[in-house]
Chain A
Amino acid sequence: MNELVGKPVDRVDGRLKVTGTANYSAEYYPKNVAYGVIVESTIAKGRIKNIDITTAGKAPGVINIMTYKNSMNLHFPQSSDPGGGKYAEKDLLPLQNDRIFYGGQAIAVVIAETFEQAEQAAMLVTADYEKDKPVFDLEKNVEKAYKPVAGLGGSQIQMTRGNTEAALQNASVKLEETYTTPVYHHNAMEPHATTAEWNGDQLMIYDATQSVMGSKNLMAAMLGVEPEKVRLVALFIGGGFGSKGFSWPNTVLTAMAAKLVNRPVKLVLKRQQMFTNAGRRTQTIQKISLGTDNTGKLNAIKHATTSESSFVDEFVEPAGVATAMLYSCANADINHSLVRLNKGTPCPTRAPGEAPGTYAIEAAMDELAYKLNMDPIQLRLVNYNEKDEQKNQQFSSKNLKECYQRGADAIGWAQRNPKPGSIREGNYLVGYGMATATYPANRSASTAKAVLFPDGHAEILCGTQDIGTGTYTIMTQVAADALGLPIEKVKVKLGDSSYPKGANSGGSQVSASVGPAIRAAALGAKSKLVKMAIADAGSPLHGQKEETIIADNGQLHLINQPDKGETYSAILNRHGLDKIEVLATTNVSTRQQQEANPAAKTGAEAQAAQESKSNPAVQEDEHTDRKPYSFHSFGAQFVKLRVDAQLGTVHIDKIVSVMDVGKVMNLKTAKNQIMGGAIFGIGMALMEETAYDPNDGRVVTRDLAQYLVPVHADMPEFDIQFIDKPDTIISPIGARGIGEIGITGITAAIVNAIYHATGKRVRNLPVTPDKLL
């Protein structure tokens, strides 16, 4: 049988999407639905003295206006397991009191018959404030920085080895520079959107989320209802990039509003609100110190990051974490500091930590290479490591040298004149740059169900979600291979909290986490079928050995005798079964915190754990010894660009990304992810930046005309390549996840190429024309 995994299979949901028939969370129209619009605070710190809703209340179509005075009391969610869902601002549940911690904080929700009426009435709500002086400028408040204990989910963010200060003092060559990145906003195409409907004490929510399970649990906890009474669905998500990983006020406010007016309510954030009520990537100030001997061998690395947090929660952008394991170096000091500001809480953004972090360390490595008069690739090879020296663990699989080599060949690295400012073409200066890409390979526990039907088709159910990356497609490939069915006979169902618990879409972990569970469930279902046939006197396979039977194209037959066999349908029909169901849980985690024993759980989770005990695929997977290993993906980014010498505009001609991400599940969706990441990187490097008003600390650039993201005309030629060697340690499917690594390293490769072109080193992103004049 031809394996589907690895093939550039078209998206199984492609047709639905291009014909507009894939339903997103704002596209449900329950009977009698009302529309909610959030009203935001226009100060960054203080108290609401008075909120005037009289005019708004009389506006046409208004049903009710929810403020802290008439909203229901919410419960603070207890932070549970890391995959269990996180409310973005633990100390600020929406509309609970009069306090204002940041500009744009929700102060009311207007609920009206139509969206337009709600929108208009929202503009008529006015508030009087007792204003306080906000702190909002990171650079001006660095003296207020403190060192947080841990990062997200208890992850390690303060790390040292050896004696870095002494090593720096003794270094023959030293580099010490500060790199900054501005605030970035995710700006997914689909804004945060929720439709909520109560049915007695049952709550149905359609929510744009990267975690149907987490979001469901949170809603239950905050609203004070049993988790079983809440069902949360997100069949299609129009991108998240981290902003939909945590739960923001919009979801719970929709449920609260629906309760208040006793009708279904739909609430969609306006684009402007995506800049205030849905997270952001924090500004970073990163100080890098590197020390080497005369040959370029690193003996000291220091990466000190200062970033923003809020007064209502703590989020650390772990920019230095990748630096801890990236190169061989005996002495390292990786630390992170936070300054609390009157801004909303930052949150993960595509490659949180690694994206800004690899910019700083890889730009610094480039500077160091020039200082040492060494080729930037050579410097990296001199400091190449085969193990994670911080954790003292071997990498599960690392083929970075091959990435450098292939990337260098594809861009024409060796042919370039390495001298900065040396290549001129008309008005342009041409430059080449490179950088290392890296992202951890994460995996967490997942459960899936496989169901075979007598008509010969199968369904897979898993409570993970496809945030637009292609999860539906890849999982269909995995399941079809395991079940021996053609792709069109397999329907993968995701995005529903009533399904078995799948992983959240964060940390590029879905393929590696959910894939093995789906594979195990599917193999389990096939094996059940095989056993039935063997035991059945009416089957041509009666009495055969399991290992002599293979499944192919909806049939079981003997390996050596393809004509001896029968269809799945025949077996099910003869047994009078309307389906065969198998649950499988793969309780594997590469994170610091292992999932609690799933067998101790209740309901479907417990059943899945029970069934998994006799599932060889699960057993083999769970018994793989992963303790000696550190799991990371790597890659090399190469850029060729032109800079207009007088006007300072940058035109990227070519990007080469060579990625070592384990097994490539689907070449098409994989390229898509790497290209998308690179485009994000172009934005970071050249144009994206959220500006705040220097007087009152509120966001000024609040739409896609003010906040620039790259457009078609900015696109270079892309050459995306994969090493495609399965990582058999992380999982039996061999994939390490691919959603975030594409954005790492690329920003540094671009600024390094700008330096090569012009001889100008810009250390504060984005590199807009004014910085190159």
Chain B
Amino acid sequence: MEPFKFIRAQDNNNAIAAAAVADAKFIAGGTNIIDLMKLNIEKPHQVVDINALKLDKIETLSNGTIRIGALVKNSDLAYHPNISKNYPVLSEALLSGASAQLRNMASVGGNLLQRTRCPYFYDTSYPCNKREPGSGCSAINGYNRNNAVLGTSDKCIATHPSDMCVAMAALGAIIHVQGAKGMRSIPFADFHLLPGKTPSIETTLKHGELITAVDIPVMSFAVKSHYLKVRDRASYEFALASAAVVLDVQGGRIQHARVALGGVGTKPWRSTVAEKVLTGALNNEQTYRTAAEAALSAAKPYTHNAFKIELAKRTLVRALTTVGGMS
């Protein structure tokens, strides 16, 4: 770990000003950034602690939107009655992540920005375009069982590891940020970037911008939703494949559908193609299968992860079956 200056910000402006210097970083729960600093993957020389900021509330706005402060802990969000009752997909996604201790520390803002678990990203003795632009990708021809099959490029095939983000992608969340030039709002789909030629640039967040809140817009049919995560052990492990599903079924037909996949994409993978197949179609297994095929149609396998394509399809079919069968 490189030595760094530690600043405790008192308010948003304070934090944004302190983070303006070139190698500054915010710290919230610290469950990701500290690990990365210990391994010299992130080397901020100024660390700005934002935990004193008033960003830890979950409010329901007059239009019904749920506004989640960036510092709300993953566990608090998961157990918030409005979330667990009306948006079970988000609650389940959060609770499927990490461990109770980590969820008690992890913040919503930090979760949005957590970095990949590609093993080569973690070992500074290996080339990695994400860690060191231009050095090469060790995973493409290396050990890539846990890497992505959707949204990859010839520069990077790292999976986005978050569970929460997959549910938020399905729910069409909106991210509010504040920077030196003021506030702006970013639709979830535009927040994370595909690796393309620049895998080190992971989001549209600008340097020094602070995430202040995430909005979950009203979606009455999200009561019928589900997050399913498949992994190598029963808990405390990232997804091999996961699916967030929201279905609005009326009279045997799917009126609205939201689908996102985790564990397989280079970003939280909202599948509009699957949603298209589902919308208006009969609520049956045939439809689910067609949707799953569509969702993975663009998938590209690598040496050790071809199984993820089939697994993701089955995971999605299972999640759709579960939600489609909810009375």
Contact = CB atoms under 8 A, between A and B. Distances in A.
Interface of A: 42, 60, 116, 119-120, 123, 272, 427, 646-649, 651, 686-687, 691-695, 698, 700-703, 705-706, 708, 710-714, 768-770, 773
Interface in B178-236: 230-236
A695 B142 contact: yes
B1 A768 contact: no
A712 B138 contact: no
B233 A686 contact: yes
B117 interface: yes
Nearest to A272: B123
A694 B1 contact: no
Interface stretch (B16-24, B67-75, B106-114, B307-315): B307-315
A376 to B, nearest CB: 27
B251 interface: no
Q: Max chain B CB contacts within 10 Å: which of A647, A695, A713, A714?
A: A647
17 contacts: A120-B3, A272-B123, A647-B318, A649-B234, A693-B138, A693-B142, A693-B143, A694-B141, A694-B143, A698-B125, A708-B233, A713-B235, A713-B236, A769-B230, A769-B232, A769-B307, A770-B308
Contacts of B234: 649, 651, 711, 713-714
A710 B233 contact: yes
A702 B117 CA distance: 12
A665 B154 CA distance: 61
Contact of B123 (A116, A694, A700, A712): A700
Contacts of B307: 769-770, 773
A647 B243 CA distance: 13
Contacts of B79: none
Contacts of B120: 700
B101 to A, nearest CB: 12
A648 B311 contact: yes
Contact of A694 (B142, B235, B236): B142
Interface string B1-36: 111000000000000000000000000000000000
Classify chain B's interface size.
Answer: 35 or more
Contacts of B3: 60, 120
Nearest to A773: B310
B143 A120 contact: no
A758 B314 CA distance: 17
Contacts of A705: 117, 238
Contacts of A649: 230-231, 234
Contact of B233 (A694, A714, A773): A714
Contacts of B314: 646-647, 773
Contacts of B138: 693, 695
Contacts of B232: 686-687, 708, 768-769
Interface of B: 1-3, 40, 117, 119-120, 122-126, 138, 141-143, 145, 230-238, 240, 303, 307-308, 310-311, 314-315, 317-318
Nearest to B40: A123
A116 B235 contact: no
Given A120-B1, A647-B314, A711-B235, 4 more contacts: A272-B123, A692-B143, A698-B125, A770-B240
Main secondary structure of the interface of A (DSSP, over half): loop
Contacts of A702: 119, 122-123
| Chain B CB within 10 A, most for which of A686, A705, A708 | A705
B311 A770 contact: yes
A29 B310 CA distance: 54
Contacts of B123: 272, 700, 702
A651 B143 CA distance: 27
A711 B236 contact: yes
A708 B146 CA distance: 13
Contacts of B317: 646
Contacts of A769: 230, 232, 240, 307, 311
Contact of A42 (B125, B231, B303): B125
A435 to B, nearest CB: 22
Contacts of B238: 705
A651 B311 CA distance: 17
A119 B311 contact: no
A501 B238 CA distance: 47
Nearest to A706: B119
A712 B233 CA distance: 10
Contacts of B231: 649
Contacts of A60: 3
A325 B156 CA distance: 52
A700 B235 contact: no
A647 B141 CA distance: 27
Given A648-B311, A693-B142, A693-B143, A123 B124 contact: yes
B44 to A, nearest CB: 14
A751 B253 CA distance: 42
B119 A701 contact: yes
A277 to B, nearest CB: 15
A646 B1 contact: no
A681 to B, nearest CB: 14
Contact of B318 (A646, A700, A770): A646
Nearest to A712: B235
Contacts of A646: 314, 317-318
A647 B235 contact: no
A708 B125 CA distance: 22
A60 to B, nearest CB: 7
A705 to B, nearest CB: 7
Instruction: Kindly name the residue among B2, B3, B236 whose own CB sees the greatest number of chain A CB atoms within 10 A.
Output: B236
A711 B143 contact: no
A647 B315 contact: yes
A648 to B, nearest CB: 7
B98 to A, nearest CB: 10
A711 B240 CA distance: 17
Most buried by A among B145, B232, B314: B232
Contacts of A119: 1
Given A687-B232, A693-B142, A116 B1 contact: yes
A26 B83 CA distance: 45
Contacts of B122: 702-703, 706
A647 B311 contact: yes
Given A701-B119, A708-B233, A714-B235, A120 B311 contact: no
Contacts of A693: 126, 138, 142-143
A770 B303 CA distance: 13
A700 B125 CA distance: 11
Nearest to B308: A770
Contacts of B1: 116, 119-120
Given A687-B233, A711-B234, A714-B233, A700 B315 contact: no
Q: What 10 A-B pairs are tightest by C-beta distance, nearest first? A: A713-B235, A770-B307, A713-B234, A42-B125, A700-B143, A700-B119, A714-B234, A691-B143, A646-B314, A711-B236
Contacts of A714: 233-235
Nearest to A703: B122
Contact of A647 (B145, B230, B233): B230
A711 B230 contact: no
B233 to A, nearest CB: 5
Nearest to A715: B234
A120 B4 CA distance: 12
A702 B122 CA distance: 9
A367 to B, nearest CB: 24
A713 B100 CA distance: 12
A770 B235 CA distance: 17
A162 B235 CA distance: 50
A651 B179 CA distance: 48
A713 B231 CA distance: 12
A116 B141 CA distance: 34
A244 B307 CA distance: 37
Contact of B2 (A120, A692, A710): A120
Contacts of B308: 770
Contacts of B233: 686-687, 708, 710-711, 713-714
A427 B308 CA distance: 20
Nearest to B138: A693
Contacts of A272: 123
